[in-house]
Structure 1
Amino acid sequence: MVMTRRAWLRAVAGLALMPVSALLASCGGQQTTPTSTTPVSAATASMTTRVAAVTPSSTTTPANVATPSSRATPASTAKPAGQQASTIKARIALTASDAALLIAIDKGMFRDVGISVDLVTATLDPGQAISLLGAQQLDIVGGGLSGALVNGVKQGVPLKITVTETVITANFGGYHVIGVPKSLSDSGQIRSVEDLRGKTVALVTSGGGDVLEMKKVLEQHHLTLKDVQVQTLRAPDVPAALQNAAVAAGFLIEPYVTIALKQLKAATALVPGQDIAQASGIGLPLNVLTFGPRLLNDRPLAVAFLVAYLRGVAWYFERVGNDAGKQEIAAVLKQYTPLKDDQLYAQMTWPPIARDGRFATSFLDEYQALWRDLGQIQAMIPASDLVDFSYLDEAARQV
């Protein structure tokens, strides 16, 4: 449903009066593990508990503590000696897709440019997150794309996508997979995408990248989203749903691809990741960082943030190509995300981080067409109203 201006402003006003700490409590820092009659692996169980706060180990400097750094920092982004760090409140989902951001926090790259990052990890739906962003209770929101962004911008709220974290790449591999219960596959009940007509399919968002990818895959097989029964599940719950054959198919995102297909052996890949990539289009943005009014109106601070972020991206690509380097990345992710299983890190497909942080803005038209068809927005707006890569371009010149 599309918010009216009055309703949107009322939501923003109410959230603006609520301290972030209170919001964390009201939204719930944790989600309960779904009841299942079938045992689920320890890896799955550990991933179904949300993190209410980031607590690095004693050997890692917390993100919000400013400490001296021996690394040189460009004068254009460094804080003058003795000046207090600028605190930025960022709401992210704490997944492997956030690897570059978490690396930049853990390795002191934000500290080097005079920024302290306060991670807010409450469970928020896109509308809540965008409302908090517009009310300046948050400075950055990370995650999948949502029609809430369009509705906020249409109400005149300064919001811009400034960088993409992950995109579909030519070597996408098995990062996303459409899986079917092994029992249905082995019995021959589900052999092709056409066999999903009229059956229940689990997606993890109401209008994110998984929905657009599924839409495009279905279209290749002369089906639409209306030809299947969509059930929205949290990503950690999809492997159990497949194991129990509670759904005919489920959209899996790593590490749940590995959990469902390799650890539980509960599902088979009906549509492999590479086929999803070809159907969806190379370069499709999956997770983005959206800046709110504070950063958009403080260009030096916004650029400094992106300088540190791009250094995190570079650190990731220096290591993701070999096993020893992946272990270094995993050590960071284990500090901040619920994923602690070394075996999963060894088996999973690593996130397709966008090396330059950019994507073709034409993909925003495809997202908007989806949201319009789903009734989540009333009309499309120019992609230029939703994205601004000028901050990223300026940051790239300083890295």
Structure 2
Amino acid sequence: MAMKKIQMGALALTLLVGSTQLVIAESNVVRLGAVPVPPMGALYIGIEKGYFADAGVDIKLTKTPLGPTLMSQLIGGNLDVVGLGIGAGFFNAVNKGAPVKIVAPMGGNPSQPGVQIGTSAASLMVRTDLLKSGAVKTEADLKGKTCAINALGVLTEYIMSEELARGGLTLSDIKLKTMPFPMIAAALKSKALDCGLLPPALTVKVMKQKVAKRLHKGYEPGMQGLVILYNTKWAKANPNTANKFMAGYLKATRDLQADNGWRKKENIEILTKHIKMPKKIMKKINQQWVDIKTLRVNKDNLMKQQQYYVNHSKLSKLKKPLAFSAIVDASFADHAVANAR
């Protein structure tokens, strides 16, 4: 009898330990990686206003200005979720079997023209003296000019290509250089560059200094700038937490975008805390556009960007584009929208 009780006790302990392991496996902790830039503002709003916490998620935030570092950490399983700009490196990684997928949009352009001035991601800036003298009037006049982007194989290369196409040019028609955004602004000021792509904050700065101006105030409607990426192994092991994170993110995007939330004092305070940007500039930059009704990635533009890298980027390893289903999983966003209150 005593032996039977011991065996029953051992069985009960085994079942208890087993159930505990199941609970631990579905962790509520999300290791989030982000770059301190305005397009990622919804992540900081979600953290500071408690939208993630209310959804039952414990955020462990890693901030770095180095996007490639976040990507490698996500692929390696050291981060669960990241906000990132997409480029040739992302498509190459997916093609090689990396456990990453796009699950939601972040920064981008409105689907309709005239909603904002200039692109949300980066604007083509031309030196003021070239514009005043008439040396540059349209994109076609940039032929042979020295221009810069921050890196090859990333969103800014795609944007520069689209800008030049307005004037019937390609990247081979200009003297293209790569350097960090602050150096582009400085080189425009010193006249070492004729033009360059700058993010919203530096766009405002060089315009205020009368160093450079936007060549035009339009933008590519519906351009998908930044996105939310999940480590798919983590999401498969923690589906409830993955859904909870997305629920918090949806609330944050709606807070930031609806009713001109981007300009609200409380949100400006949060954004400047995490992004380290003067409040005056933060108030002037473009709102980062997301489809807050559906939280869907712009499929057509995403595939267009991928096609560009396949056809033109020196860093692309793809011979043909990947299927949309191979790079995007909309199930988490769909679940968040369907269950939003």
**Please, what TM-score do these two structures have when normalized by structure 2?**
0.83
Kindly provide the amino acid, as one letter, of the partner of residue 249 in structure 1.
Answer: C
Compared with structure 1, are the counterparts of its residues 85 and 137 closer, same or farther at alpha carbon in structure 2 (3 Å cutoff)? closer
Q: Deviations over 1:118-149 (max 9, x none)?
A: 221234353x4333212101111212112222
Cα distance change on mapping 1:314 and 1:365 into 2, 3 Å: closer
Question: Does structure 2 conserve the Cα–Cα contact (< 8 Å) formed by 1:285 and 1:359?
Answer: yes
CA distance in 1, matches of 2:250, 2:85: 19
Bigger share in helix: 2
After superposition, give the CA deviation of every residue in 1:232-288 in whole Å (9 maximum; x if it has no partner): 232333322222222111112211221111x2121122132x2x32xxxx2221010
- Relative distance call for 1:336 and 1:321 in structure 2 (3 A) is closer
State the partner residue of 1:314.
254
Q: Do the aligned residues in 2 keep the contact of 1:183 with 1:245 (CA within 8 Å)?
A: no
Partner residue of 2:87? 146
Match of 1:109 in 2: 51
Following superposition, the deviation at residue 103 of structure 1 comes to: 0.5
Match of residue 287 from structure 1: 226
SS, match of residue 92 in structure 2? helix
Q: 2: distance between equivalents of 1:180 and 1:296? A: 47
Residue in 1 aligned with 2:117?
Answer: 173
Indicate yes or no: 2:151 matched with 1:214: no
Structure 1 position 183, deviation (Å): 2.1
Q: 1:296 to 1:137 in 2, by over 3 A?
A: same
Describe how 1:1-399 pairs up with structure 2 within 5 A: 86-126=28-68, 128-169=69-110, 170=112, 171-174=115-118, 175=120, 176-261=122-207, 263-272=208-217, 274=218, 276-277=219-220, 282-292=221-231, 293-320=233-260, 325-339=263-277, 341-355=278-292, 356-372=294-310, 373-375=312-314, 376-379=316-319, 380-399=321-340
Q: Is the 8 A contact 2:261 2:267 kept in 1?
A: no
1:351 deviates by 2.3
* RMSD, aligned α-carbons: 2.1
CA contact (8 A) 1:100 1:312 kept: yes
Separation of aligned partners in 2, 1:301 and 1:284: 29
The amino acid of 2:116's aligned partner reads: F
Residues 297 and 154 (structure 1 numbering): CA distance in 2 closer, same or farther, change over 3 Å? farther
CA distance, structure 2, for counterparts of residue 337 and residue 326 of structure 1: 16
Q: Which amino acid aligns with 1:333?
A: L
Q: 1:283·1:359 contact (CA, 8 Å) conserved in 2? A: no
Letter in 2 for 1:163: A
Q: Is the 8 A contact 2:272 2:282 kept in 1?
A: no
TM-score by length of 1: 0.71
Give the superposition deviation at 1:296. Answer: 4.0
Gaps of 5+ in 1: 1-83
Native 8 Å contact 1:166 1:354 kept in 2: no
* Partner-residue secondary structure (3-state), 2:246: helix
Structure 2 partner of 1:41: none
Distance 1:125 1:144 in 2: 8
Partners of 2:125 and 2:196 within 8 A in 1: yes
Could you give the per-residue CA deviations for residues 212-251 of structure 1, whole angstroms, max 9, x where no partner exists? 2221222231111111122223233332222222211111
Distance verdict in 2 for CA 1:156–1:287, change over 3 Å? same
Specify the code of the residue in structure 2 equivalent to 1:173: I
Alpha-carbon offset, residue 352 of structure 1: 2.2
Distance 2:249 2:266 in 1: 17
Q: How much has 1:347 moved relative to structure 2?
A: 2.8
The verdict on how the C-alpha distance between 1:297 and 1:149 changes in structure 2, with shifts beyond 3 A counting, is: farther
Q: Tell me the alpha carbon deviations over residues 1-30 of structure 1, each in whole angstroms, 9 at most, x when there is no partner.
A: xxxxxxxxxxxxxxxxxxxxxxxxxxxxxx
Deviation, 1:208, is 2.8
Per-residue deviation, residues 177-214 of structure 1 (Å, max 9, x unmatched): 21111122223322221121122211133233322222
Q: SS state of the match for residue 106, structure 2?
A: strand
Q: Is the 8 A contact 1:94 1:121 kept in 2?
A: yes
Preserved contact between residue 36 and residue 65 of structure 2 (Cα < 8 Å): no
Identity of aligned residues (%): 24
Deviates more, 1:360-369 or 1:138-147: 360-369
How far is 1:168 from its partner?
Answer: 1.2
Query: Residue 34 of structure 2 contacts residue 70 of structure 2 at CA under 8 Å; is this kept in 1?
Result: no
Q: Distance in 2 between matches of 1:232 and 1:370?
A: 19
Q: Answer yes or no: is the 8 Å Cα contact 1:185–1:191 preserved in 2.
A: yes
- In the TM superposition, residue 362 of structure 1 has moved relative to its aligned partner by 2.6
Deviation per CA, 1:270-313: give whole Å up to 9, x if none. 132x2x32xxxx22210101101212442211110000001101
Partner-residue secondary structure (3-state), 2:225: strand
Structure 2 residues without counterparts, runs of 5 or longer:
1-25
